[in-house]
Amino acid sequence: MLIKGRNWKFGNDIDTDAIIPARYLNTSDPQDLAKHVMEDADKDFSTKAKAGDIIVAGKNFGCGSSREHAPIAIKAAGIQAVIAKSFARIFYRNSFNIGLPIFESEEASEKIKEGDEIEIDADNGVIKNISKGESYKANPIPPFMQELISADGLVEWTKKKMAAKS
């Protein structure tokens, strides 16, 4: 899978309240959530960002709450993927469960500048910076996560598991 798009850059420790503030969590409708994505980190983000864009952030992206609304809001806003130096544990898990592609790469997180055109080769774990003509390595996706991706998320994976048992 190739993911190509321009990127928006964020710093370290972007928490789930910044990704989708709790004041909007009286709904779980993805489109409603998408209207407020990243609002407390950048209040204009939902109007600036276009479908197909990529988020690039520093360490510990998605720290805080377990709200699955966070990756859902990002995905529903049309953001294709998130690259970060590291991800908070529950956000990491949620992203694979719902099928939001995420990539850990210290090098990409440091070297990519906002607005650079990025191409991610998901199968080989290579992140290309087209604007700069550079290439960075993403941390390998653990085998079980690959299994979730190829099953199309945890719901489908669970369906298969239950069918196999019965």
Partner 1 sequence: MTITEKILAAHAGKKKVEQGELINAKVDLILANDITAPIAIQEFKKIGAKDVFDRSRIAFIPDHFVPQKDIKAAEQCKLLREFSKEYHLGLYFEVGRMGIEHALLPEQGLVVPGDLVIGADSHTCTYGALGAFSTGVGSTDVASAMATGECWFKVPDSMKFIYYGALNKWVGGKDLILHTIGDIGVDGALYRAMEFEGEVISNLPMYGRLTMCNMAIEAGGKSGIIVPDKVTRKYVKGRAKREFKFYKSDKKAKYVEVREYDCSKIPLTVACPHLPSNTRPAAELFEVTIDQVVIGSCTNGRLEDLREAARVIRGRKVNPNVRMIVIPATQQVYKQAMKEKLIDIFIDAEAVVSTPTCGPCLGGHMGILAKGERALATTNRNFVGRMGHPESEVYLSNPAVAAASAVLGRIAVPEELGL
Q: How far is the CB of 152 from partner 1 (least distance, A)?
A: 11
Which one of 90, 108, 112, 141 is in contact with partner 1 (CB under 8 A)?
90
How many residues bind partner 1 (CB under 8 A)? The answer is 43
> What's the rounded Cα separation, in Å, for the pair 152 and 97?
8
Determine the 3-state secondary structure of 22 from DSSP.
helix
Q: How far is the CB of 69 from partner 1 (least distance, A)?
A: 8
> Pick from 16, 5, 3, 34: which is nearest to 93 by CA?
16
> Pick from 7, 157, 153, 12: which is nearest to 80 by CA?
7
* E strands, the chain, in order: 2-9, 54-57, 81-84, 102-104, 117-121, 126-129, 134-137
List Cα–Cα distances, 73 to 20, 78, 132, 144, 148, in angstroms: 7, 9, 29, 24, 20
Which one of 49, 53, 65, 101 is in contact with partner 1 (CB under 8 A)?
65
Stretch that binds partner 1, among 49-57, 88-96, 101-109, 122-130 (CB under 8 A): 88-96
Does residue 109 touch partner 1 according to CB under 8 A?
no
Q: How far is the CB of 29 from partner 1 (least distance, A)?
A: 9
DSSP 105: -
Does residue 105 touch partner 1 according to CB under 8 A?
no
**Is the CB of 59 or the CB of 137 nearer to partner 1?**
59
| List of residues contacting partner 1 (CB under 8 A) | 13, 15, 17-18, 21-23, 25-28, 39-41, 43, 59-60, 63-69, 72, 86, 88-90, 93-94, 97-98, 142, 144, 153-155, 157-159, 161-162
